[in-house]
Amino acid sequence: KILIVDFGSQVTQLIARRVREEGVYCEIVPFTKAEAAFREQKPKGVILSGGPESVTVEASPRAPQLVFDSGVPVFGICYGQQTMAAQLGGAVEGGHHAEFGRAEVEILADCPLFKGVWHKGEKYPVWMSHGDRVTKLPDGFTTVAISRNAPFAAVADEARRYYAVQFHPEVAHTPHGALLIRNFVRDVAGCSGDWTMGAYREEAIAKIREQVGSEKVICGLSGGVDSAVAAVLIHEAIGDQLTCVFVDHGLLRLGEAEQVVALFRDHYNIPLVHVEASGMFLAALEGVSDPEVKRKTIGRLFIDVFEAESKKIGGAKFLAQGTLYPDVIESVSFTGGPSVTIKSHHNVGGLPERMNMKLVEPLRELFKDEVRVLGKELGLPEGFVGRHPFPGPGLAIRCPGTITGEKLEALRKADAIYLDEIRQAGLYDTIWQAFAVILPVKTVGVMGDGRTYDHVCALRAVTSVDGMTADFYPFDMAFLGRVATRIINEVKGINRVTYDITSKPPGTIEWE
Ligand code: XMP
């Protein structure tokens, strides 16, 4: 296993991704907790991440001295390189020409890090992002690559198996960067690369059995991938000690509620309570048009209904949740203050405390795409695990203004037509998320010989890696024309279609 010490870089998670893609398990810890984690986990190698601080500032973060004293191989990236240099007796200076974005490194010497990837005497593109730079190497180190503004773009102390680079090998903008990370974890640190989803599944099952014993577990299904994968995994571990509760708020996409019930009850034979609560949700949302009020209303009611159902089932000590790794990585925050709430996300936050239950979270160590792989491993249908993300408050936040049963019905149909056309065009997996929005605006149209006065439907499709930033998808006009014609012809209540060409930022992906 590999330990990644986080100094607060925006891209630390990508290091973890690259390591795991090599079949090697790794964890990220903030530098403040690195020493304890190192003692406990006994990793075969350590990677020091980048970070926003300057090592020239007193009291800036450092790697635990223990890491250097223990004899394990260390790979420093950007800030990680600088703190390594500073801690081992070299020097770092600020105020030089900063390098951001594309740069080129020239390879001066062979190095285990470059094996089979970069060759002596050649130049390769890399991605840099730094203000400070190393100006004097610690004893034992040699320079193995240079760039125009970083005389020590890559350095190595082969005797001690220390490697450090000024650029970022973990980002896609450094074309062969993933292979350098592979060389470090596989060749230098000697990790075997046998961490697979099959192995994870077995381990997770054993852990669940140990944690739960003979107690009962309740799991809320949302219709999404994460809760479904968690439920199937837990059922495999403890069988019918698990009961699933599906609070159907009537805000899912067309046919999804039925699919969840069929999949769990009929296919997996997992005990499932299906609470048909759409009437309650619609009543609670009546007249509500403020996006935050909508979100809070849905969140609150969801918890009430879920809690009441759990009480009826009775006797469960554990609550299962599909929490993922990005939600639990403790981030290193230098700004301290809370960030602004753009949207309050509704999942089941607050439930466990309120119900006084212990949590079972078998996906806590996984990234989203790893959950998809695990889902496939557990036999969930491809079409289900590959689904686009869907927000907790569902269609309510794709219906700006007040929500009515009629609008929801039109929206559901329009959305299904749009997704159907996207699938037929073979674009579903290229697009991160696509959906229809029904606007509160009505406009005039003409159909046959008659006047129409109906709602406008907006279509949205974005590409993204993590939902944090996104670009609108550049459909060709013929495709959009086809979708618009079908929606207007087939969906009662919609007579005009527009396409949303806003990226994020400044837009958000959802409209509310
Ligand atoms: P925004 O609209 O903030 O969305 O750009 C980013 C991603 O998050 C999803 N989203 C949610 N997911 N509960 C969720 O589980 C929510 O309340 C929620 N709101 C937005 C959104 O669909 C997109 O993928």
CATH number at residue 423: 3.30.300.10
Looking at the structure, do residues 258 and 295 belong to the same domain, yes or no? yes
Looking at the structure, do residues 219 and 284 belong to the same domain, yes or no? yes
pLDDT of residue 80: 96
Cis ω on the peptide bond leading into residue 393 (within 30° of 0)? no
- 475 lies in a domain? yes
Looking at the structure, do residues 202 and 295 belong to the same domain, yes or no? yes
d(CA 295, CA 213): 36
Residue of minimum CA distance from atom 17 in ligand 1: 345
Q: Per the residue annotation, which of 170, 361, 370, 421 is the catalytic one?
A: 170
Cα atoms found within 13 Å of the Cα of residue 156, Cβ hemisphere only: 16
Burial of 402-421, coded b for 16+ CB within 10 Å and e otherwise, reads: ebeeebbebbbbbbbbbbeb
Q: Which residues contact 287 (CB under 8 A, 6 or more apart)?
A: 402
- Looking at 135, 162, 188, the residue that finishes a domain is 188
Q: Are 256 and 274 in contact (CB under 8 A)?
A: no
Question: Active-site residue 457, yes or no?
Answer: no
The Å distance, Cα 404 to ligand 1 centre, comes to 22
- Looking at 140, 170, 188, the residue that finishes a domain is 188
Write the CATH number for 269: 3.40.50.620
Tell me which of 294, 345, 466 to substitute to probe ligand 1's pocket, judged by most ligand atoms within 8 Å of the beta carbon.
Answer: 345
Signed CA dihedral, 18, 19, 21, 26: sign only: negative
- 19 lies in a domain? yes
Q: Per the residue annotation, which of 130, 168, 235, 346 is the catalytic one?
A: 168
Q: Which residues of the chain have pLDDT under 70?
A: 95-97, 329-350
Looking at the structure, do residues 182 and 201 belong to the same domain, yes or no? no
Looking at the structure, do residues 423 and 296 belong to the same domain, yes or no? no
Looking at the structure, do residues 342 and 430 belong to the same domain, yes or no? no
pLDDT of residue 345: 62
pLDDT of residue 131: 80
Looking at the structure, do residues 416 and 480 belong to the same domain, yes or no? yes
- 67 lies in a domain? yes
**Site residues for ligand 1, CB cut-off 6 Å:** 343, 345-347, 389, 391-393, 433, 467, 504, 508-510
- 398 lies in a domain? no
- 391 lies in a domain? no
pLDDT of residue 336: 42
- 305 lies in a domain? yes
Looking at the structure, do residues 268 and 248 belong to the same domain, yes or no? yes
Residue of minimum CA distance from atom 14 in ligand 1: 391
Residue 71, domain extent: 2-188
pLDDT of residue 339: 47
- 465 lies in a domain? yes
d(CA 489, CA 484): 8
Q: Assign residue 23 a region: left if phi > 0, alpha if psi is -120 to 50, beta otherwise?
A: left
Bridge partners of 302, per DSSP, are: none
d(CA 180, CA 194): 18
Q: Based on the structure, what is the number of domains in the chain?
A: 3
Return the ligand 1 atom nearest residue 470 CA: 5
- 97 lies in a domain? yes
Collapsed DSSP state (helix, strand, coil) of residue 274:
strand
The Å distance, Cα 141 to ligand 1 centre, comes to 47
